A and B are shown apart, each in its own frame.
Chain A
Amino acid sequence: MARYALRRLPSIALILLLVSAIVFVAIHVLPGNAATLILGEYATPEALRTLEREMGLDRPLVVQYASWIGSVVTGDWGVSLAMKQPVATVVGYRLRNSAFLAAAALAVVIVVGIPLGTLAALRRGQPLDLAIVTATYVGISIPEFVTGLLLLLVLAGPTLHWLPTSGYTELASGVAAWARHLVLPALTLTIVLLAHVVRQTRSGMADVLTAPYIRTARLKGASTRRVVLRHALRNGLLPTITVLALDLGYLMGGIVVVEEVFAYPGLGRLIVYAVQNRDVPLLQMCALVVASVYVLANFAADLAYAWFDPRIRYS
């Protein structure tokens, strides 16, 4: 297993390099550059040229890319073209915020979703299953931005005001305040993901529960709980694990609509900002961070496979 892990590392590095190259090329294909965005409708040709020269945007593309790689290797992620702040600081802050949100949402989804899905699979066709299934339908059929707005109006509006409307408080200012700001965006995300995971678990577990080796275990007199925990869960969860790994990546970069609605300072909005302002160094680090999360999450999922299902061999 350890050897397998080590063998994967160079390919992970290669993947990240590829991602950064694609991002670099893609953003230069887009019309305009950071200078045009900074000057906006006040640009004059001379001002543009001057600014481009100052930001090093007039150098050949290969030189710009090589120079960026060179500084990254020494740990210098550069300065954001639009914000004029060190990229690492800006991204670090947003990454941490997104991480909190992702962790909160995933925790709920795992703790609640897997048992719910298993329960539904065990009680196939019965009222409990139908209730769970109906709830998941509702959860996945309303888009996050609608759910978010509705939750906002109900829970954070003037009538109830249980929760703050937006933004983010530092953990240092108090755990309670920090947690309260996380609730609404996390809840919005959870609803959709929960539904997805419950359904996948239900589907996977239902399949497995009809498999011969499960029937054998049952015939041998094993209790349902033992059957589920010992045998079914391992294999039934394989598709779920894949989904969770995908979800983690989605959470880190894709929840921009929820971030917009709640004014949550996360990575998603930062990525949109970076693209809109053609802020190459900022975008590169964001892309690599999100890509790394995906890659590492999938890698962990692969390891989990092997652990859960001894039948899977990595030759």
Chain B
Amino acid sequence: MTFSRRAFLKASGGAAALPLLNPLAVLAQGEKAGGVLRVSVTFGLSTINPIMHISGAEWMATKWMYNNLTRLNAKREPVPDLAESWTAADGAKVWTFKLRQGVRFHSGRELTADDVVTTFTTLLDPKTASPYRGEAGPIDRVEAVDKSTVRFTMKSPFSVFPAVTAVPNARIVAREGLGDLKALASHEFGTGPFKLKEFVPGDRVVVERFGDYFRKGEPYLDGVTLKVFPDPATELAAFRNKEIDLISGLTPDLFSQVATMSGAEALAVAGGTFAAVTLPSDKPPFNDNRVREALKLCVDRTLMLAAINNGQGELGVDHPVSSAYAAYSPLPPRAADIPRARQLMKEAGLGGGVNVKLFAANSPPIRERIAVVLKEMAQPAGFNFDVEVLAYDRYLAQVWNKGAMYVVYYATRPTADAILMKLYHPKEGLDEGRWAPTHANAIRVLDQAREVVDADRQRRLYADFLKTARDEGPFMLPFFANELNGKWSYVRDYRLSPSSSDMILDDVWLAADAPKKKA
């Protein structure tokens, strides 16, 4: 086994090979092979259908079994995955991707442009009802130019497309798997480093090594098990006992527990995940920007971050683009200023206070925490929030996207365009703050930014929008949560991504001191 891997490594100096092996690792090649990595999460895993899945644990599982055209590196820039190169034409209206040669699906068949075309056609088909259809970009048509070239024609210029093809719902699925979408819920048709071995919805996914993976020599692991532990305390106990090797989505309060365990490492990376409060700007009291500003000034963000996320995060200034995004532009932090908040309230005619209902779904827990803490912090300025915490299913049916004041929660996206559109754009997104109608100019800036090809110009446009969002926007966004993982030191070459469900395990390996256990 190990000898043939060495041979593969030596032969793999091929054109678009990406493996990030360092020379030292090559020397220790023999020790890298084998072992099953056991990963834990605290919720999810209802389906493994890559066209339809919407949660972190599921994105992780399909990341291991499938590939995309591109993937994102640590700087969140697109790099080759199944596509070895790509070019834009006609002012970013036409994108042409050249596929790698010799990539095989788990079934043995070779990847062709047809599979890519069928995947995207299915993703975009309204009959599929994919939740991510809108986020794939303004694609007009997809066609196979030849066996290994795919051309995307956009309806309007879309300069960020190569980063968008890295999203979890754009995994490339073999043609055969796309005929009857029901099969995709429990079977996989991918090219990824691991094949599906077992899937128990809501409980676990077990994958095993695919010997014919196009990144020759990888993966090193024999397999991976992803298990759901609904209780973080149980999860931590299992980790302590080395029944889990890697905790994904480690809670901030348990982070210090892992950090102090000898032999374990607690990893933290700035992310883009956040919870924010909508300030519905189409009706009183938040239609007056003075009131919005007043609320934003009530919040002591450092204290909120400390209390809610144990300090694990980056302060926000009421817009959703953190340092984890390529389009990030730093702005001065916002401190609490209760006297000024009161002043603004008086100017807006609300000197006597105002009562507002604030909703929060009970999952994830950060939502209700933000609501509870905000209620206390905003009291001195005259805001009387009636907090109502709802079960998630009721929240979806009765509160979400209905123009009330509630707590939103979003995970890190591949591009700033994606999250900004989602939050603010009335057509491409939800405009949960009901703000777009009165701020058409700002929305136009967003539209322009995604069309512009010149990187500098794009950065300036985004910087412009972010300032507007901070000063007038319909969201109070106090901080971004760090991505937190806990792992044992024997798990090597693991890099925590700013979007932790973007878990690349191609080149991860277990050192010799890993416990020898069955999955």
Contact = CB atoms under 8 A, between A and B. Distances in A.
Contact flag (A, B; Cβ within 8 A)? yes
B392 A276 contact: yes
A39 B227 CA distance: 23
B230 interface: yes
Interface in B367-397: 391-394, 396-397
Given A90-B201, A157-B240, A84 B185 contact: yes
A99 interface: no
A260 B231 CA distance: 7
Contacts of A50: 126-129
B202 A83 contact: yes
B497 interface: no
A149 B46 contact: no
Contacts of B128: 50
Contacts of B132: 42
A31 B397 contact: yes
Given A32-B396, A42-B132, A50-B126, A165 B185 contact: no
Interface in A139-156: 149, 152-153, 156
B243 A165 contact: yes
A42 B132 CA distance: 7
B231 A42 contact: no
Nearest to A84: B185
A78 interface: no
A93 B397 CA distance: 31
A307 interface: no
A157 B237 contact: yes
Interface centre among A47, A54, A273, A276 (most CB of B within 10 A): A47
A85 B186 contact: yes
Nearest to A36: B396
B182 interface: yes
A166 B131 contact: no
Contact of A161 (B49, B52, B241): B241
Contact of B54 (A40, A161, A275): A40
Given A50-B126, A54-B129, A164 B243 contact: yes
Interface residues of A, number: 47
B218 to A, nearest CB: 29
A152 B185 CA distance: 34
Interface in B37-94: 46-47, 49, 52, 54
Given A50-B126, A50-B129, A165 B241 contact: yes
B241 A156 contact: yes
A27 B238 CA distance: 36
A41 B134 contact: no
Interface in A201-242: none
Contacts of A37: 393, 396
Contacts of B182: 84
Nearest to A177: B518
Given A161-B241, A262-B234, A263-B234, A84 B186 contact: yes
A276 B391 CA distance: 8
Contacts of B240: 157-158
A190 interface: no
A166 B134 contact: no
B475 to A, nearest CB: 15
B54 A42 contact: yes
Nearest to A82: B46
Contacts of A61: none
B115 to A, nearest CB: 22
Interface string A37-73: 1111111101110110010000000000000000000
A135 to B, nearest CB: 27
Contacts of A152: 233-234, 237
Nearest to B393: A276
Given A157-B240, A276-B391, A263 B228 contact: yes
Nearest to A156: B237
Interface string B236-249: 01101101000000
Contact of A41 (B129, B203, B396): B396
A261 interface: yes
Contacts of A42: 54, 131-132
A272 to B, nearest CB: 10
A165 B129 contact: no
Contacts of A41: 396, 400-401
Interface in B396-426: 396-398, 400-401
Contacts of B230: 260, 263, 269
Contacts of A200: none
A136 B193 CA distance: 55
Interface centre among B132, B134, B393, B398 (most CB of A within 10 A): B393
B130 interface: yes
A240 to B, nearest CB: 34
A157 B397 CA distance: 41
A277 interface: yes
Interface centre among B132, B133, B202, B227 (most CB of A within 10 A): B202
Nearest to B234: A166
Contacts of A149: 233
A86 to B, nearest CB: 10
Interface string A257-289: 000111101000100010111100000000000
16 contacts: A36-B396, A37-B393, A41-B396, A84-B49, A85-B186, A153-B233, A156-B241, A161-B241, A164-B243, A165-B238, A165-B241, A165-B243, A166-B234, A167-B227, A263-B229, A277-B393
Interface of B: 46-47, 49, 52, 54, 126-134, 182, 185-186, 200-203, 227-231, 233-234, 237-238, 240-241, 243, 391-394, 396-398, 400-401
Interface of A: 30-32, 36-44, 46-48, 50-51, 54, 80, 82-85, 90, 93, 149, 152-153, 156-158, 161, 164-167, 260-263, 265, 269, 273, 275-278
Given A32-B396, A265-B203, 8 more contacts: A30-B393, A40-B54, A83-B47, A83-B202, A85-B185, A158-B237, A164-B241, A277-B393
